[in-house]
């Protein structure tokens, strides 16, 4: 994508910049969509009997630039970065996939 919506972690980071708590952002990207789709009993939660895929993120502090829908630049101090995904019990590290795509070590 050419932005300003690049990916879900970047969009989640923009909501951190706007003042939402990480807990609220996580709920709005997991539990709430499952409820809206009528799938709350099947998705969007960590409990027995629910399909659970996990995304693992790090939240480094720093100086990060974000772009809003009007193409204005915003500066934030935190940015969610994907580390791994656990899908159907198998772990996938995001750095390895990106390294293969770019053809070099990050």
Which residues, in sequence order, are CB contacts of 3 under 8 Å at separation 6+?
67
In CATH, the number for domain 8-102 is: 2.30.40
Contact 17, 76 (CB under 8 A): yes
Per-residue model confidence as pLDDT tens digits over 62-94: 999 999 888 899 999 999 999 998 887 788 887
User: CA 51 to CA 42: how far, in whole Å?
Assistant: 6
* Band of pLDDT at residue 43, cut at 50, 70 and 90: confident
pLDDT at 1 (0 to 100): 53
Domain ranges, ordered by start, for the chain? 8-102
Per-residue model confidence as pLDDT tens digits over 47-64: 887 777 888 999 999 999
């Amino acid at each position: 994508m050419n932005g300003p919506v690049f990916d879900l972690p970047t969009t989640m980071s923009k909501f951190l910049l706007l003042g939402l708590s990480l807990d609220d952002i996580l709920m709005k990207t997991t539990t709430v969509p499952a409820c809206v789709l009528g799938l709350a009993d099947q998705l969007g939660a960590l409990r027995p009997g629910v399909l659970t895929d996990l995304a693992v993120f790090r939240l480094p502090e720093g100086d990060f630039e974000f772009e809003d829908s009007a193409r204005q630049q915003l500066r934030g101090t935190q940015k969610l970065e994907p580390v791994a995904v656990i899908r159907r019990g198998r772990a996938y590290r995001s750095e390895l996939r990106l390294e293969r795509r770019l053809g070099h070590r990050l």
